A and B are shown apart, each in its own frame.
Chain A
Amino acid sequence: MSSLNEVPRDNRIIISVLGRDRVGIIAAVSGVLSAAGVNILDISQTILQGYFAMILVADMGESNTDLETLKEKLNTLGAELGLRIDAQHVDVFNYMHRL
């Protein structure tokens, strides 16, 4: 059955990067995103208990790929850099923290 309706209407995603800080993290992540045609809207980063945490908000509206494929690419990059990189649809966060 492949007639499943596509769901999320908002195209924004949140990419989280967690791990040890090193040179070139932003460059590598934004490289993957630009290759996929994903537009970065906002970046913020912080150091949490010695760990590097970066959150990117990005728009997939013009992207040439889907979220699943993008997630796989980011997971692979994360494995190479020794970081945990994940992408989730913005609805997950909005639903949890906003009524």
Chain B
Amino acid sequence: MLSMQEILETIKMVQEENLDIRTITMGISLRDCGHLETKTACRRIYDKITRLAGGLVEAGEKISRQYGIPIVNKRISVTPISLIAECSDAENYLAFARALEEAAGATGVNFIGGFSALVQKGYTVGDRRLIASIPEALAATERVCASVNVATTKAGINMDAVLQMGQVIKETARLTADRQGGGCARLVVFANAPEDNPFMAGAFHGTGEPESVINVGVSGPGVVRNVVERLGGADLGTLAEEIKKTAFKITRMGELVGRTAARMLQVPFGIVDISLAPTPAVGDSVAEILEAMGLERCGAHGSTAALALLNDAVKKGGSMASSYVGGLSGAFIPVSEDAGMIRAVQEKALDLTKLEAMTCVCSVGLDMIAVPGDTPAETIAAIIADQAAIGVINQKTTAVRIIPAYGKAVGDMVEFGGLLGSAPVMAVNPFSAAKFVKRGGRIPAPIHSFSN
């Protein structure tokens, strides 16, 4: 039988510490939707998504009410569109983005991911067309998310794609300048992209995935922060142990919700992504966990070590709690979505170089960073190359989601609204990397012996 203390602990997590399920994401294969005629392909895509995910939002809301746990987002990820659209005669894939947008609207989800291409080793015709369509597609839609995988540990880094993505990001920012460059908030450049990630904007339904699947992303930085605070001056071993136990409890909620949703929708249950995903809400911050550990501000020396402890403890606890862990799984450190990170940047405790160091041990990478609008495409490409190198060498996922803010200078704030939050514009290194990134070609895959 449950003890009174256990029951009250759960109630407190939900009612006071912002424990929530961040997202239920339905992965849908579109591999049977290709057609020579674009119109037919788009209709097939729309029909399949609305047929399979028609009940997703209703199921999510029902589970949320029944269990009393908020489920913040219901989302859809699909097969990378480059693979589907390639069968068609279209030279521009805007129509496919519009089909996704319409399907998202009809099903009531707030984001749909998969306007994607995987080009770590090179481009196909479809990859080229898709990437060229990204700026226009993001400008013409509100819910479509795009991602491009430019590197893997096994293939190395496609530097032609890295340079192109620098240009694509700049162009997307220009086309969505009226929305503060918000299109870039829906565009992720990956190294080692996971095929089952439920979190946006980087979600897509990988080719090794089944026809349809339910993946769940949990959250709960607020719960972890309170645990760390309660422990006072405990040593770091104790801290890691308690974070592990807490991650276990949070992940169990994800497991429960995922299994229930899968049963309701009669779709296989995929994975729980055990990430600590912050939101702009007060107390729902990863930076504040690091500060509760004893750093005056996130970004101070010691931040990388504190984040490494946190990330590892979350993975360990979460792995025990779920039969299938996947996705990104760890701690996210986006700037705009985390009140503590924003404060750290504003107070100059945290800059891009420290943030890059922290990405070596976090679960993703440079996420939701605003930079001055006049940052050259080559500099953005170089930032992507650095992140990709960290991911490729360390055999981890890394990503860049960066927003060149038109007309803004370092220190200005950029408002994205909602869960995307607001970001202070951060300074980039003023020296040029143009000659380096313009060399093109591929950086070879790293050796996996002599690892020092």
Contact = CB atoms under 8 A, between A and B. Distances in A.
Interface of A: 1, 3-5, 7-8, 14, 16, 18, 44, 46, 48, 53, 55, 67-68, 71, 84, 86-98
A68 B67 CA distance: 10
B2 A94 contact: yes
Contacts, number: 81
B54 interface: yes
A96 B104 CA distance: 32
A8 to B, nearest CB: 7
Interface string B247-269: 00100110110001001111000
A95 B4 contact: no
B68 A7 contact: no
Interface stretch (B55-63, B140-148, B390-398): B55-63
B67 to A, nearest CB: 5
Contacts of B252: 95-96
In the A-B complex, the 9 residue pairs with the smallest Cβ-Cβ separation, listed nearest first, are A1-B55, A88-B68, A95-B256, A97-B6, A95-B252, A1-B54, A4-B264, A96-B249, A96-B252
B11 A4 contact: no
B62 A4 contact: yes
Interface of B: 2, 4, 6-11, 15, 54-55, 58-59, 62-63, 65-69, 249, 252-253, 255-256, 260, 263-266
Q: Mostly helix, strand, loop or mixed at chain B's interface?
A: helix
B66 A48 contact: no
Contact of B67 (A5, A84, A91): A91
9 contacts: A5-B263, A7-B63, A14-B7, A44-B4, A55-B8, A71-B65, A87-B68, A97-B9, A97-B10
A98 B62 CA distance: 24
B256 A91 contact: yes
Q: Mostly helix, strand, loop or mixed at chain A's interface?
A: mixed
Given A4-B55, A4-B265, A68-B66, A16 B11 contact: yes
A97 B55 contact: no
Contacts of B256: 91-92, 95
A7 B262 CA distance: 10
Given A44-B4, A93-B7, A94-B2, A71 B63 contact: no
B8 A4 contact: no
A77 to B, nearest CB: 16
Contacts of A84: 15
B8 A7 contact: no
A55 B7 contact: yes
Given A96-B10, A97-B10, A68 B69 contact: no
A67 B263 contact: no
Given A1-B54, A91-B256, A7 B66 contact: yes
B7 A95 contact: no
Given A1-B55, A95-B256, A96-B252, A46 B68 contact: no
A84 to B, nearest CB: 7
Contacts of A48: 8
Contacts of B265: 4
A46 B4 contact: yes
B360 to A, nearest CB: 32
B24 to A, nearest CB: 13
Given A71-B68, A89-B66, A96-B249, A7 B260 contact: yes
Given A16-B11, A89-B67, A97-B10, A7 B253 contact: no
Given A92-B69, A96-B249, A96-B252, A7 B7 contact: no
A11 to B, nearest CB: 12
A4 B6 CA distance: 31
A16 B266 contact: no
Given A1-B58, A86-B11, A96 B67 contact: no
A74 to B, nearest CB: 11
Contacts of B59: 4
A95 B7 CA distance: 11
B11 A97 contact: no
Contacts of B10: 88, 92-93, 96-97
A94 B263 CA distance: 19
Nearest to A94: B2
Looking at B59, B63, B256, which has the most chain A CB atoms within 10 Å of its CB? B256
A96 B223 CA distance: 14
B55 A95 contact: no
A9 to B, nearest CB: 10
Nearest to A92: B67
A94 B7 CA distance: 9
B269 to A, nearest CB: 13
A3 B58 CA distance: 11
Contacts of A16: 7-8, 11
A4 to B, nearest CB: 5
